[in-house]
Amino acid sequence: MKASIRILRGARRALPLFLLAAGFSVAHGADAAGWVSLFNGKNLDGWTPKIRYHELGDNYGNTFRVADGLLQVRYDPAAYPNYGERYGHLFYEKPFSHYRLRVEYRFVGEQVAGGPGWAWRNNGIMIHGQAPETMAKDQDFPVSIEVQLLGGHETGERSTANLCTPGTNVEMEGKLHTPHCTNSTSKTYRGDQWVTVEIEVRGNEVIKHIIDGEVVLSYEKPQLDPRDASAKKLIAAGAPLMLSEGTISLQSESAPTDFRKIEILVLDK
């Protein structure tokens, strides 16, 4: 990987990211409260897929699609007779630093054949992520912070808006927190119901996962994990250890999923 590659697609820009974000809000028709929709309900304009074992921009099997005003994740049998660990991510075209993201999602149908057991009704929103063009062709997940979305079984508890950390770590209560996944305090959401998750991101300071107006998980100081092979490559290419901005992406992790709203409110630093 060349030293000129940066973790963020926006690193080549001359203007500070927060000024670009402010201009983005104006250009994209923010509502009275400042919220901007990142999904137009018609097509995938502004979004780029990266599916494992495939080139950037190859939407293998039409995995990410738009129908009935919904952004859908689907696995047609002709393309996916077996999932084959083809983890996918759909990247928004601009990175962000300080913002509030609001996503409405639901799980539908059955998991694709060959999907891992832990990925049943499992998807994710990746934030503070690496630029997709810096991912290896066979890389499974972008180096990022994952807001993990989970659906509940018929019985038992299974929280959503959890934290997972592919190639990253965070701090909690002033201490480095290295477990790969950490559960939130959310209730369990079963069946095909719509769930709204909000994520408040304030650069390298604090990130909060919010459901129904309540903070269900909070942590600080998102950072690269020098033990991770993909993160090591980014560090060698000049990426800072501490993450203060990055890409936003949605997963395809073997569970059919619908996204109805994807909205962002850019916050002042």
* Tens of pLDDT, residues 126-170: 999 999 999 999 999 999 999 999 999 999 999 999 999 999 999
**Whether residue 3 has pLDDT greater than 50:** no
Question: What is the rounded radius of gyration, in angstroms, for the C-alpha atoms of the chain?
Answer: 17
Arithmetic mean of pLDDT, 242-253: 98
Domain containing residue 221: CATH number: 2.60.120.560
Q: How many structural domains does the chain have?
A: 1
Strand order in the sheet with 181-182: 47-51, 88-92, 247-252, 122-129, 145-150, 162-164, 181-182
Please give the model's pTM, rounded to 2 decimal places. Answer: 0.90
- CA 18, 24, 27, 32: dihedral to nearest 10 degrees? -80
Residue 250 lies in a domain: yes
Q: How large is the average pLDDT for residues 7-21?
A: 46
Q: Is the pLDDT of residue 53 over 60?
A: yes
Amino acid at 223: Q
For residue 2, tell me if it sits in a domain.
no
Indicate if the pLDDT at residue 75 is higher than 50: yes
Domain range holding 168?
A: 9-148+159-266
Does residue 46 belong to any structural domain of this protein? yes
Question: How is residue 46 written in tokens?
Answer: 């502004």
Q: E strands, 93-193, where?
A: 98-107, 122-129, 145-150, 162-164, 168-172, 175-177, 181-182
Residue 1 in domain? no
Q: pLDDT band for 31, please (50, 70, 90 cuts).
A: confident
In a domain, 84, yes or no: yes
Residue 26 confidence (pLDDT) above 60: no
SS3 110: coil
Domain assignment of residue 127, yes or no: yes
Contact 190, 152 (CB under 8 A): yes
Q: Does some domain include residue 184?
A: yes
- Per-residue confidence band for 12, with pLDDT thresholds at 50, 70 and 90: very low
Q: Is 153 a domain residue? A: no
pLDDT above 70: percentage of residues in the chain: 89
Residue 183, Cα to own-chain centre: how many angstroms?
17
